A = this chain, B = another copy of it.
C-alpha cells in the first residue's frame, strides 16, 4: 500500500527551521497504514530535511555551524555563472540531504522523545517549499 501527499511551507531565508513531524503523524493516520515507512522529500536544491531536537538553542546552532563550515561568499564556482550568492546554500543542502525515512509502527511515527523532523531552509532568501510525503506499508 502506498499513500502519497504533500506539505507546503513558507520559509524565511537561511537557517529558518520548521518542525514537520506533527503533520507527518497526521498523514500517517489518514493513510491507514499501520506498519512500514514514511518518506519525506524536499523539492528544490537549497533546503534540507534533518533530524534534530527542536529547541531554540540547536535551531540557532545548526545554521551557524553550517555557515562556519561552508561559508557564504563569492569565491565559489557557482557564483561565476549565477551571481545569486547562494552557492553555500546548495552545498549545505547537499551535505545534509533532501529527505528522511522514518519507521511507522502500529500507526505511529517511531521517534525518540527529543527527536524531531525538521525542514531547514538553506537558501539566502524566503522560499515557498513543497515536501512530498510517501507512506509505504500495510
Q: Spell out A's residues near B (CB within 8 Å).
A: 1-2, 4, 35-37, 39, 41, 43-45, 50-53, 55-62, 64-65, 69-70, 76-82, 87, 90-91, 93-103, 105, 110-112, 114-116, 132, 134, 136-138
Contact = CB atoms under 8 A, between A and B. Distances in A.
A116 B112 CA distance: 25
A44 B112 CA distance: 5
28 contacts: A4-B103, A4-B105, A36-B134, A41-B110, A43-B111, A43-B112, A44-B114, A45-B115, A50-B97, A51-B93, A52-B94, A55-B81, A56-B77, A57-B76, A57-B82, A60-B77, A61-B78, A61-B90, A62-B94, A65-B70, A97-B100, A99-B101, A101-B101, A103-B132, A105-B132, A110-B132, A136-B136, A136-B137
Given A94-B50, A105-B4, A112-B44, A37 B39 contact: yes
A52 to B, nearest CB: 5
A18 B53 CA distance: 23
Q: This chain: how many copies in the complex? A: 3
B91 A78 contact: no
